[in-house]
Amino acid sequence: MNLRRFSVGIGPFAANPGLTGERGILNEETFHRLISLERRRTERSRKPFLLMLLDMGDHLPSGAAAKVLSKILAGLSGSTRETDVAGWYKTDCVVGVMFTEIGLEDRNSIVSTMIERLGAALRSDLTSEQFNQVSLSFHVYPEEWNHDHEVPKRPSNPALYPDLSRQADSKRVSNGFKRAMDVAGSAVALIFGAPLLLIIALAIKATSEGPVLFRQKRIGQNGTPFDFLKFRSMYTGNDASRHKEYVQKLIAGKAERHTDGNGNGVFKLIKDPRITRVGAFLRRSSLDELPQLINVLKGEMSLVGPRPPLPYEVEKYDVWHRRRLLEAKPGITGLWQVSGRCRVAFDDMVRLDLQYARTWSPWEDIKILVRTPAAVVFGDGAH
């Protein structure tokens, strides 16, 4: 039994006839929903929870699987609290238990206790081969996000987000339609916008030294990094420390609201000396964003969705802020862009992103796309 394989990142029970033990086990759908609710609770309470998964695989005969589950429930009855929740993570295959509101010492104690008790309990009812095929893993929420750009892998632990996988499966058709809209829309825009793209490229090249395109590492859906494209609007070799400092204050709710040329209060650096004259126009008109159509065509972004953040932004995210990276693919435009943009505080921007993810539909995307040109023309919050 693989009892040493574990990953650490830092209700009522429904009766199930035919199972022994004092406590029943929740069905898969209910258990996944409770994992989602516990994540929300942790966002508010700051108290982590530990998810234990015991994978029996599909190699055990039904009789042996029933014995294994009986032993698990018997072991759990003496090792868990009434507030801990047990259920099917994957029906008839993977059993899960959530140990709620734990501390670091609790986590270490739970892991060692469950390895010892479940290991001893199961050895007596399984053959050596069956025992070695059963695996036990532990997953702590919130997990640590380590954005290693050299290893572009998902830093968020999928085991802690089964409800999002279920939602993605249920929206497969509508997501396919969204992807078709992205491909068609970006391809048409690139083809018919080619003359404009060429004019912008020539203007950038003629007025400042450096490449036409600016490439920057951004964080996409599920925390996966990608190369984000924009028309270069700044002089080359500039120092990003001023922007980094301001953004981190913005996320913490401590950023100063600046006044733009129209007398509006905006959460963004004003009169940035790093920006070229052509770049200032491109930013006001949002034309610097046009190369992101290539990101959309590649599937890294969508036409509509949350803006992809910089790695040093994500480092300062509160736990609940991370949901904007998990629940929707980043986009060129979105609900934030057509709702005031830089005049909106960071927490309110995140709420708009989560609202978009929660209420998304193809019609919602179309409405946002229709509202975007007006926001661009009038420079609604753009700088």
Q: Does 262 reside within a domain?
A: yes
CA 366 distance to own-chain centroid? 23
Q: Mean pLDDT, to the nearest integer, of 291-297?
A: 97
195 and 263 within one domain:
yes
Is residue 313 over pLDDT 50? yes
pLDDT digits (tens, 9 = 90+) for 79-133: 667 778 888 898 878 888 898 888 766 777 777 777 777 777 667 666 777 677 7
197 and 77 within one domain:
no
230 and 323 within one domain:
yes
pLDDT digits (tens, 9 = 90+) for 46-58: 888 989 898 877 6
Of 110, 83, 85, 69, the residue nearest 35 (C-alpha): 85
Q: Does 299 reside within a domain?
A: yes
Q: Does 165 reside within a domain?
A: no
pLDDT at 202: 96
Instruction: Report the range out of 159-168, 282-291, 336-345 with the highest average pLDDT.
Output: 282-291
Q: Mean pLDDT, to the nearest integer, of 143-167?
A: 70
Of 35, 57, 34, 38, the residue nearest 47 (C-alpha): 38
Question: What residue spans of the chain are helical by DSSP H?
Answer: 28-45, 62-77, 104-123, 128-133, 162-170, 172-192, 194-207, 241-251, 277-285, 292-298, 311-314, 323-326, 346-359, 362-377
Query: Cα torsion at 171, 176, 178, 182 (round to 10°)?
Result: 160
Query: Structure tokens of 313?
Result: 């932004």
Is residue 12 over pLDDT 60? no
> In the structure, what pLDDT confidence band is assigned to residue 199 with cuts at 50, 70 and 90?
very high
pLDDT at 229: 97
Is the CB of residue 219 less than 8 Å from the CB of residue 231?
A: no
Q: Does 199 reside within a domain?
A: yes
Is residue 203 over pLDDT 80? yes
pLDDT at 25: 79
Q: Mean pLDDT, to the nearest integer, of 5-29?
A: 49
Q: 66 vs 140, which has greater pLDDT?
A: 140
pLDDT at 110: 75
φ and ψ at residue 224, rounded to 5 degrees: -85, 125
Task: State the chain's mean pLDDT as an integer.
Answer: 80
Q: How many domains are contained in the chain? A: 2
pLDDT at 228: 97
pLDDT at 46: 85
Q: Does 287 reside within a domain?
A: yes
Query: Structure tokens of 98?
Result: 């959530």
362 and 317 within one domain:
yes
211 and 308 within one domain:
yes
Structural domain including 347 reads: 171-377
Q: Does 119 reside within a domain?
A: yes
Q: Mean pLDDT, to the nearest integer, of 353-371?
A: 91
pLDDT digits (tens, 9 = 90+) for 26-39: 889 999 999 999 99
Q: Does 218 reside within a domain?
A: yes
Q: Mean pLDDT, to the nearest integer, of 187-208?
A: 96
97 and 55 within one domain:
yes
273 and 361 within one domain:
yes
Query: Structure tokens of 42?
Result: 């942790």
* Strand 225-231 to 258-259 pairing: unpaired
